[in-house]
Amino acid sequence: MKSITINPVNNEIYAFEKSSFTPTSIFVRINSSDGFGLSVFESELVFTAMSFDIDGTIYLTTSDKRLYKLNPATGDTTFVANIGINVGALAIEPSTGELWATVDESSENDRVYKIDKTTGDTTRIGRTELNKKTRSLVFGPEDALYGTTGEEAQVSILVEIDKSNGMATEIGSVGFRGVFGMAFKYDSTAVSVESQKPTVPHQFELSQNYPNPFNPSTTISFAIPENANVKLSVYSLLGEEITTLLNGDLSAGYHSIDWNSLKNGKLISSGIYFYSINATGASGNKFISTKKMILLK
- Residue 192: inside a domain, yes or no? no
| Pair 131, 68 in one domain | yes
DSSP 8-state symbol, 239: S
With beta carbons less than 8 A apart as the criterion, state whether 243 and 266 touch. Answer: no
| Pair 154, 287 in one domain | no
Rounded mean pLDDT, 21-32:
84
DSSP 8-state symbol, 22: S
| Pair 16, 145 in one domain | yes
Cis status of the peptide bond prior to 72, with omega within 30 of 0: no
Asked whether the CA dihedral 123, 146, 65, 78 is positive or negative, the reply is: negative
| Pair 27, 97 in one domain | yes
| Pair 137, 216 in one domain | no
Residue from 120, 217, 208, 113 nearest 165 by CA: 113
Mean pLDDT across the chain:
89
| Pair 164, 214 in one domain | no
Partners of 291 in the β-ladder: 275
| Pair 34, 148 in one domain | yes
| Pair 79, 225 in one domain | no
Q: Is the pLDDT of residue 199 over 80?
A: no
- The pLDDT tens digits of the residues spanning 86-112 come to 999 999 998 899 999 999 999 999 999
- Residue 247: inside a domain, yes or no? yes
| Pair 171, 217 in one domain | no
* DSSP-derived secondary structure for 178-230: -------PPPSS---GGG------SS-EEPPPBSSSBSS-EEEEEEESS-EEE
Count of the separate structural domains present in the chain: 2
Per the model's pLDDT, the better-predicted residue between 194 and 56 turns out to be 56
Instruction: Supply the range of the domain harboring residue 70.
Output: 2-177
Query: For position 138, which CATH number holds?
Result: 2.120.10.80
pLDDT at residue 197, as a whole number: 41
- The pLDDT tens digits of the residues spanning 121-138 come to 999 999 999 999 999 999
Rounded mean pLDDT, 150-170:
93
pLDDT at residue 196, as a whole number: 44
- The pLDDT tens digits of the residues spanning 224-240 come to 999 999 999 999 999 99
| Pair 50, 139 in one domain | yes
- Residue 183: inside a domain, yes or no? no
pLDDT band for 190, please (50, 70, 90 cuts).
very low
Per the model's pLDDT, the better-predicted residue between 148 and 197 turns out to be 148
- Residue 97: inside a domain, yes or no? yes
